[in-house]
A and B are shown apart, each in its own frame.
Chain A
């Protein structure tokens, strides 16, 4: 990793990162503040009026039996996937593909910097940024849920961890596509379009009931059972391993592809 490139990238994106941390934390805080822990049925009733709509967002109203379950069901659904997606597609396109397109990458690559170091540094920056986002979500959630009394903080931490791994894996996919197709029109298009496509599959799986539920197997987002993770019904070890391996594999693939790439800079 090259610290100079990392610092330069951080300087370019720190405002965007802070903005998204603030927006996500604000959104989480607002969602959690709707809770009346003594009367969760009231909360269920509030969401029950839009049951079909909630399905598209993978929100399980029946699971809202406690503040933690409610948070897992509402925020850790399509909502967190969509919000973080906006952030990481901007980043994954801007880190390499945009710099190839406007030829500014020649400034860095005309210095004695290996291509592998450059891509590794940008990839690690993406992972670091996602970690900062989810640390914000972790801190905000712990603080807000703590106001309602004791709750299973480990379970919440575990949920944040799995969601971080999932979203980072999809972010890495976006990064890989932008690197693999940089210099062509496909680069930015695939980097943005594929994650959105995967998200739409998840939304379609939820919106169509039993008829379309099978679609969730076609997208990594379908494997996040947020309520199951906090209640302990779903083992998260396998998810950590799979998503973690995906992150590493896609980062490695990005490095391998970029080393051979023709760069029109």
Chain B
């Protein structure tokens, strides 16, 4: 449904994205993660037709995102990373504006979403908080019941209740067979909604994997307090958080015996366990840029 093949876009300053290839199959929710400045928004701008890539192709349903952007947007919903609205409009005026632009005559879905996300119809959006503006953006993206959604940090600024409400909405849309590309820093949101994850770093794909596969391949973390940290790190197991006296070592189930035999060779002052969350896995890419799981395109 959404396909990027060898997409490259360079800004005059040299940054951008390089040789990005991945796809989002119909009916799937794909998480698109990466540290700040990695290239997530640039990728999304290519998909939205706001920028034409220097090389490669971006297509949605086989249509080129730049040349046929208008046709694509008939069935596409979008939440931008930075919400900004035309000046002087109230919430209802803006949503009616979106309905008019899209030729949506039946506003029942819009009203239903406004109620769900507790949006007032009155008041200029100048007075709205970031969270309120984000809710308006969410309603605007979903009000025409699009088949494809591109969401750039959709829960940014939302309170925990509204975040949960948004996750429920995504899961409902997923059940209805919608295709969603979700760029986010909220690991819990990605864990709960995404079937697949693509991680980008410094403009290139660092990893892509099935969320279920990632979850099942989680390692167990052992918090080891020892005065011989250097020897512990030399064992060769992935190491997480570290302090002066301790560090977290991540061990797969099959490696447990080997780990404990090596551990017996050093002085251990304390030992505790810690299960590796998806956040821990993702943070490895944010910090070190290691490539880990690479499966075929989804």
- Chain A contact residues, CB within 8 Å of chain B: 2, 4-5, 8, 11-12, 99, 102-104, 106-114, 260, 262-265
- Select from chain B the residue with minimum beta-carbon distance to A7: B100
Is A264 in contact with B74, judged by CB distance below 8 angstroms?
no
Known: A102-B84, A103-B84, A265-B80. A108 touches B101 (CB 8 A): yes
- Select from chain B the residue with minimum beta-carbon distance to A13: B88
Q: Which residues of B contact A107 (CB under 8 A)?
A: 84-86, 94, 98, 140
Q: Which residues of A contact B73 (CB under 8 A)?
A: 110-113
From the candidates A5, A99, A112, name the one contacting B102 in the complex (CB within 8 A): A112
Query: Does B71 belong to the interface (CB within 8 Å)?
Result: yes
Q: Mark B116-155, 1 if CB is under 8 A from A, else 0.
A: 0000000000000000000000001000000000000000
Is A263 in contact with B97, judged by CB distance below 8 angstroms?
no
Known: A103-B82, A107-B86. A113 touches B70 (CB 8 A): yes
Output the residue of A8, A104, A108, A111 with the most chain B CB within 10 A: A111
Q: Which residues of A contact B101 (CB under 8 A)?
A: 2, 4-5, 108, 111-113
Is B80 in contact with A112, judged by CB distance below 8 angstroms?
no
Compute how far the CA of A103 lies from the CA of B88 in the bound complex, rounded to whole angstroms.
15
Compute how far the CA of A262 lies from the CA of B9 in the bound complex, rounded to whole angstroms.
11
Is A264 in contact with B85, judged by CB distance below 8 angstroms?
no
- Select from chain A the residue with minimum beta-carbon distance to B51: A262
Compute how far the CA of A146 lies from the CA of B73 in the bound complex, rounded to whole angstroms.
55
Compute how far the CA of A262 lies from the CA of B49 in the bound complex, rounded to whole angstroms.
9
From the candidates A12, A111, A112, name the one contacting B86 in the complex (CB within 8 A): A12
- Select from chain B the residue with minimum beta-carbon distance to A4: B100
- Select from chain A the residue with minimum beta-carbon distance to B150: A110
- Select from chain B the residue with minimum beta-carbon distance to A99: B86
Known: A8-B86, A103-B80, A103-B82. A109 touches B100 (CB 8 A): no
Known: A4-B97, A262-B52, A265-B50. A112 touches B70 (CB 8 A): yes
Interface residues of B in 28-79 (CB under 8 A from A): 45, 48-52, 70-71, 73-74, 76, 78
- Chain B contact residues, CB within 8 Å of chain A: 45, 48-52, 70-71, 73-74, 76, 78, 80, 82, 84-89, 94, 97-98, 100-102, 140
Is B86 in contact with A104, judged by CB distance below 8 angstroms?
yes
Compute how far the CA of A146 lies from the CA of B2 in the bound complex, rounded to whole angstroms.
67
Is A8 in contact with B52, judged by CB distance below 8 angstroms?
no
Q: Which residues of B contact A113 (CB under 8 A)?
A: 70, 73, 101
Output the residue of B51, B80, B86, B94 with the most chain A CB within 10 A: B86
Q: Which residues of B contact A104 (CB under 8 A)?
A: 84-87
From the candidates A2, A8, A99, A106, name the one contacting B80 in the complex (CB within 8 A): A106
Within the complex, the shortest CB–CB distance from A260 to chain B, in Å, comes to 7
Within the complex, the shortest CB–CB distance from B289 to chain A, in Å, comes to 26
Compute how far the CA of A186 lies from the CA of B142 in the bound complex, rounded to whole angstroms.
36
Q: Which residues of A contact B98 (CB under 8 A)?
A: 107, 111
Q: Which residues of A contact B51 (CB under 8 A)?
A: 262-264
Within the complex, the shortest CB–CB distance from B81 to chain A, in Å, comes to 9
Q: Which residues of A contact B50 (CB under 8 A)?
A: 106, 109, 262-265
From the candidates A8, A102, A262, name the one contacting B97 in the complex (CB within 8 A): A8
- Select from chain B the residue with minimum beta-carbon distance to A113: B101
Q: Which residues of B contact A264 (CB under 8 A)?
A: 45, 50-51
- Select from chain A the residue with minimum beta-carbon distance to B72: A112
- Select from chain A the residue with minimum beta-carbon distance to B94: A107
Compute how far the CA of A4 lies from the CA of B98 in the bound complex, rounded to whole angstroms.
9
Compute how far the CA of A263 lies from the CA of B49 in the bound complex, rounded to whole angstroms.
9
Compute how far the CA of A5 lies from the CA of B86 in the bound complex, rounded to whole angstroms.
11
Within the complex, the shortest CB–CB distance from A232 to chain B, in Å, comes to 46
Within the complex, the shortest CB–CB distance from A148 to chain B, in Å, comes to 42
Q: Which residues of A contact B97 (CB under 8 A)?
A: 4, 8
Q: Mind listing 30 A-B residue pairs with CB under 8 Å?
A: A4-B100, A8-B97, A12-B87, A103-B82, A103-B84, A104-B85, A104-B86, A106-B78, A107-B84, A107-B85, A107-B94, A107-B140, A108-B86, A109-B48, A109-B49, A110-B73, A110-B78, A110-B80, A111-B73, A111-B102, A112-B73, A112-B102, A113-B70, A113-B73, A262-B50, A262-B51, A263-B51, A264-B45, A265-B45, A265-B50
